[in-house]
Amino acid sequence: MKRIYTDGACRGNPGPGGWAWASGNDHYASGAEAHTTNQRMEVMAVIEALRSTPDEDIEIVSDSTYVVKCFNDKWHAGWLRRGWKNSQGQPVANRDLWEQLIELVLNGGRSVRFTWVKGHSGDKGNDFVDVLATAAADSQYGQRSG
């Protein structure tokens, strides 16, 4: 199972944002959006990571409880059962991105596991994607290895 770290960043919320994923220091990508939120960038990072490795079993490691709990606590199942309403009966935020991510995770023909890691705690993979996502948010340019 391939381990991929993901992260999102935003300067202001909403504001200029960036996302990043990395599998080691030599296989990574990042991107930017001019007007977004931190949570959108967290979800986008995972979407881009999964799209970049379509045929492999993946462990996503993220400091975003928003992303990790969606799958580990089965939030997505409730959203679908309630017609894209959250537990308070409100429309699910970022539905456009969640629809893409849920499709990639549940119907991608591979195993995808989610692991939470504390941000800014010295985890080298998490620190690396944080630097990439922050740089993308600040510069509004992405990077790609290889």
CATH number of 76's domain: 3.30.420.10
- Asked if the structure places residue 11 within a domain, the reply is yes
Give yes or no for a contact between 80 and 26, defined as CB atoms under 8 angstroms apart: no
- Asked if the structure places residue 108 within a domain, the reply is yes
DSSP annotation of 89? S
The pairing of beta strand 58-62 with beta strand 112-116: parallel
Alpha carbon distance 18, 132 (integer Å): 8
User: Could you give the number of structural domains in the chain?
Assistant: 1
pLDDT in tens, 84-140: 999 999 999 999 999 999 999 999 889 999 999 999 889 999 999 999 999 999 999
Alpha carbon distance 5, 65 (integer Å): 14
- Asked if the structure places residue 144 within a domain, the reply is no
pLDDT of residue 146: 62
Type and span of the H or E element at 38: helix 38-52
Alpha carbon distance 115, 140 (integer Å): 28
- Asked if the structure places residue 46 within a domain, the reply is yes
Strand partners, 120: none
Measure CA of the first residue to CA of the last residue in the chain; give whole Å.
Answer: 21
Domain hosting 78: range is: 2-139
pLDDT in tens, 11-52: 998 999 999 999 988 899 999 999 999 999 999 999 999 999
Alpha carbon distance 59, 84 (integer Å): 26
pTM of the full structure: 0.95
Q: Name the maximum alpha-carbon separation found in the chain.
A: 45
Type and span of the H or E element at 15: strand 15-22
